[in-house]
Structure 1
Amino acid sequence: MPAPTLTPEVVAAAAAVAADWIEFRRRRLDIPGVQFAVRLNDDLVHSSAHGHADREGDVALTPEHVFRVASHSKTFTATAVLRLAEQDRLRLDDTLATHVPWVAEEDAELARASLRELLGHAAGLTRDGLDGDFWQLEHGFLDVDGLRTAVRSGGSVIPRSSRFKYSNIGYSLLGLVVEAVTGTPYGEFVASELVAPLGLTRTTPDLPAAGDLVTGYTPASIGPRRPLPHPSTAGMAAATGFCSTAEDLTAWFSAHRHGRTELLSEHAKRLAQRAEWPTEGTDRSYGLGFIGEKIGARQLVGHSGGFPGHITKSLLDPESGLAVSVLTNSVDGPASELAVGVVKLVDLFLAEWGTGEPTADLNAFCGRWANLWGPQDVVRAGSALISFDPDTADPAANPVTFDVLDGQTLKVVRDGGFGSFGEDWTLGRRADGTPTLRGHSGITMVPLDRYAPV
């Protein structure tokens, strides 16, 4: 039996519920701001912003604010290299020294690394060099001379093509390859060849940003949150320099779905997105510039990004055209948790979506309810109702579903077994007019904004 097909209606409903969950998690975890967008087959289905772009200035976050999206940059760099390969301007089995000759003077083994090994993080190269304190803003990101020093002082670490070994230095060197082949600065080339044709008006390869930058913040685990400055990434832009928005990033990844060929051919996209290497200890893999990740039955690709004050994550299902991007402006921002949770909520809605006219007013049951044990959301999926705990990293992990018996009564038809399977949840009202929902374990819930402990 074929899998059900995603529709804009299902995705929009799931995304709206996901936005409420994201806002709950943002407040719960004290994350300054979260920007969130969803596309389906290139169409923007949802875009929202939650919290602050700048706490000190009390600036509300909007979908137009720009984030530092860090290693998302690698997807742009890999696309540029693959595009040049398709144009016969380079070959993926070219050695690095073919295009960046000085590498041979500093590290003979790295000089023999192929572009494909660099794209797949298999060149055995140092991650960030011996001095990576630019990541905590103690000094500037590396320029070309700094990259050369990093290569000279400890470039090759393990044998080439022996395992996956992530390297920002490697992708920075790929930026130099793009410059050598095109005769154009990396930033100018990707802006004109990749960014502009897609109309990504809020996306730049580095500073200056094309819009107001959000303020990034330190993690809550090391003391009160402090705002962080915005440095240029100098010679490391190809690895970590990009600035963008959730809307632009979903458009960028949508251009890599099946059927879109204005950036890369279907063959080149397969090269980029196939599992080149497993990432040990996880269920993820790495292709050529794209992380592969399985969520439920979906095989997704995308990338995460970590920059001082910014944690970001984007996912694409190349087959269905579902694209999700979540951007946060703190070092401890749960962008990956939130992006994965959105995909799981979309699939939950797809599985449970009810069609036809409901026999009762379903909206009367919907909302964020609470009792002493915490909150519980009841939401609509078409003509069906679903309940889940919003105070969790995975809201779709253990949902409750119902049959609607009448305008005041639901029967639990699915839960994990520890709940109230087969029992009724009933609407009521207190003497002061407060709505109630008597649910799990027969415990009364009221709207969260009206809950007060005994």
Structure 2
Amino acid sequence: MRLTATLALLLVPFASHAAAPPTNPDVAAFAARTLEANCAADAPGMTVLLARGDEVLYRGACGRASLELGVPLSPDHVFRIGSVTKQFAAAGVLKLAEDGKLALADPVTKHVPGYPGGDAVTVEKLLNHTSGIRSYTDIESIMSGGGIMKDLTTAQLIDTFKDEKPDFAPGEGWHYNNSGYVLVGALIEAASGKPWHVYLDEVFFQPLGMSHTGYGNEADAVIPRHVGGYSRKDDHWTRAMYLSMTQPHAAGGLVSTVDDLLRWNRALHEGRVLEDAGYRAMITPVGKAAESGYGFGIFTGTLRGEPQLWHGGGIPGFSSYLLYLPGSDITVAVLYNADSGRPGMLGTGYIANRLAAHAIGKPYPEKKAIEVDAATLAQYEGVYRIDEDAARVLRVNDGTLTSQRTGGLVHALIPVAKDTFLFEEGYSRIVFERDDAGDVAAMRFFPEDEGEGEVVPRSDEPLPPARTGQQLPREALERIVGGYAVGGMLLKVFLDGDTPMAQLTGQPAFEIFAESPSRFFLQAVDATLVFAPDTGAPASVTLHQGGRETVFVRAE
């Protein structure tokens, strides 16, 4: 089937065209508008810094540092930065390697004697998440029931996960792993003879003038200008869940400011932190980590066609994001004193990407919907086959075209040009391709509006019928209420009034709909829950999602 040549024309309005960057005042004005649109003066807020080289193009803040006291945020406030900590810890290990105190090929047991299976796990595999060691933040007994609140030494923290079954053999897979970076902290301590954060302070923070960056344990000492952290519960804010800051360790235990993060980016990427060989290793994914674009404490990728180095952070009460565009010498740092957003608010990563894209003259397209009649929308409906196991189902719901990948969420699409739609959330784009007869034959999917796009043909498969639920009496719903566990995951089933809900560890709660007293489905996600047995309190529930089955056993 030959597709028409109109595709090139359709791509023009959205291409990452080469253009002169906007003026500095234009960049600052756009950043200010973006921050204002994603911030409320009486809610937790953000500090944002955008720079080209050493020149700060925008530095601002919006929202409150303390909801209780009504204190407004300012750009020099101090935030927990979560997993952005990892690049500092990784650089610390590389610095020790330069000094001959350790090597990337060293087995873990050389520095942490007796660690189970550590002879096969190298320092490098800890740094790039290919060790296979179980991440302690995936272990339910640690993350709930007060486990995360305990003050622990490095050795005690390692004891909480060292006997867990590995996720995979070392080097045979990739899984984001906080346990690995606790061990990175332990390596720093063993090789330097100092607490991990003291070593980082002495070799990096003090020499670079990062006077507001350091260990975030307020139980040790008050941290000046440290903001409060918050969580969203229903339609109001609460103080974030307490955790002992001994536990994030070298995986996420630092605090900083946007100014200090700029100092770090300038020093790291200008060669004032590491020698060239160590820096290149840090930003060059290898082995299984290459599939996820992960170096050592830094993700690699592209933004509007330009190379990008970045990492985000999330910890109770806080979200963070730090990116760098080597070609344009752009830094963006975004710090937010909440771990969840208000409805319609962009996350820290989306805001950082949006500001960087505008600064280099390659802005993301505006999501301004055009009129598309019902008959035209219906032309796009169908099953677009990615491979044997996965497809995208496009369906019109209440006048809106939606896209759902097998096992994934339902995403609303916004029509912005002929045969061109943007995802309501994020920056991904779909351009439909037509055959010579003018019929829709395929879609070209651009994840986060990057690259050349993936062509996905429209199959002859019939559109799956929309699933409909039935009303069950309350006693039938109460029967399935409870907690169901597998490994470190907990699936909670509960009632919000008379509405049954399901929530998986670390995920939002979703409404579930009954097809029978024992079979429920989700509309927001392509998934089914089957409770067994059919009568009495269920002993288990099986999650069917993306062609996989996961059995959760009743835990309470």
Matches of 1:244 and 1:158 in 2, distance apart? 34
> Closer, same or farther in 2 for the Cα pair 1:347/1:224, shift >3 Å?
same
Contact 2:80–2:253 (8 Å) recurs in 1: yes
- TM-score, with normalisation over the residues of structure 2? 0.57
The correspondence for 1:170, drawn from 180, 200, 209, is: 180
2:143 maps to 133
Contact 1:141–1:235 (8 Å) recurs in 2: yes
Show the 5 A alignment for 1:34-433: 34-103=46-115, 107=116, 109-128=117-136, 130=139, 131-133=141-143, 139-140=149-150, 142-154=152-164, 156-208=166-218, 210-220=223-233, 222-228=234-240, 231-234=243-246, 236-257=248-269, 260-276=270-286, 285-333=293-341, 334-348=347-361
Matches of 2:191 and 2:19 in 1, distance apart? 43
- Alignment deviations for residues 294-349 of structure 1 (CA, whole Å, 9 cap, x no partner): 11111111211001010111101123221101111111141111111111222336
**Which residue identity lines up with residue 184 of structure 2 in the other structure?**
L
- Alignment deviations for residues 178-207 of structure 1 (CA, whole Å, 9 cap, x no partner): 111111111111001011111111111322
> Closer, same or farther in 2 for the Cα pair 1:322/1:134, shift >3 Å?
farther
> Closer, same or farther in 2 for the Cα pair 1:185/1:279, shift >3 Å?
closer
Corresponding position: 1:19 with 2:32: yes
Percent of aligned pairs with the same amino acid: 25
Contact 1:254–1:316 (8 Å) recurs in 2: no
3-state DSSP of counterpart to 2:349: helix
Q: Give unmatched runs, 5+ long, in structure 2.
A: 1-16, 342-346, 366-423, 431-556
Shift, 1:244, TM fit? 0.6
3-state DSSP of counterpart to 2:237: coil
Contact 2:129–2:180 (8 Å) recurs in 1: yes
Shift, 1:50, TM fit? 0.6
**Which residue identity lines up with residue 250 of structure 1 in the other structure?**
L
> Closer, same or farther in 2 for the Cα pair 1:241/1:144, shift >3 Å?
same
- The range that moved more, 143-152 or 167-176, is 143-152
Shift, 1:42, TM fit? 2.7
**Which residue identity lines up with residue 75 of structure 2 in the other structure?**
P
**Which residue identity lines up with residue 216 of structure 1 in the other structure?**
G
* Aligned-residue RMSD, C-alpha: 3.2
Contact 1:69–1:311 (8 Å) recurs in 2: yes
> Closer, same or farther in 2 for the Cα pair 1:175/1:234, shift >3 Å?
same
> Closer, same or farther in 2 for the Cα pair 1:13/1:265, shift >3 Å?
farther
Moved over 4 A (4+): 3-7, 134-138, 229-232, 277-280, 349-352, 392-398
Shift, 1:113, TM fit? 0.4
3-state DSSP of counterpart to 2:212: coil
> Closer, same or farther in 2 for the Cα pair 1:284/1:163, shift >3 Å?
closer
2:407 maps to none
Shift, 1:31, TM fit? 5.4
Contact 1:4–1:350 (8 Å) recurs in 2: no
Matches of 2:199 and 2:156 in 1, distance apart? 22
- Alignment deviations for residues 369-405 of structure 1 (CA, whole Å, 9 cap, x no partner): xxxxxxxxxxxxxxxxxxxxxxx8669999xxxxxxx
Shift, 1:39, TM fit? 2.0
- Alignment deviations for residues 71-111 of structure 1 (CA, whole Å, 9 cap, x no partner): 111000000011111222211000111011131xxx1x234
Higher relative CO (Cα under 8 Å, sequence separation at least 6) belongs to: 1
Contact 1:141–1:236 (8 Å) recurs in 2: no
2:536 maps to none
> Closer, same or farther in 2 for the Cα pair 1:20/1:340, shift >3 Å?
same
3-state DSSP of counterpart to 1:165: coil
Shift, 1:52, TM fit? 0.7
3-state DSSP of counterpart to 1:324: strand
> Closer, same or farther in 2 for the Cα pair 1:272/1:133, shift >3 Å?
same
**Which residue identity lines up with residue 299 of structure 1 in the other structure?**
P
> Closer, same or farther in 2 for the Cα pair 1:136/1:249, shift >3 Å?
farther
- The range that moved more, 119-128 or 43-52, is 43-52
Shift, 1:5, TM fit? 9.2
> Closer, same or farther in 2 for the Cα pair 1:78/1:318, shift >3 Å?
same
2:467 maps to none
Matches of 1:71 and 1:88 in 2, distance apart? 27
Matches of 1:291 and 1:67 in 2, distance apart? 21
Q: How many residue pairs end up in the alignment? A: 348
> Closer, same or farther in 2 for the Cα pair 1:289/1:183, shift >3 Å?
same
Contact 1:310–1:329 (8 Å) recurs in 2: yes
**Which residue identity lines up with residue 283 of structure 2 in the other structure?**
Q
Matches of 1:326 and 1:65 in 2, distance apart? 12
Matches of 1:190 and 1:86 in 2, distance apart? 15
- TM-score, with normalisation over the residues of structure 1? 0.69
Shift, 1:26, TM fit? 2.0
3-state DSSP of counterpart to 2:51: strand
Matches of 2:145 and 2:248 in 1, distance apart? 12
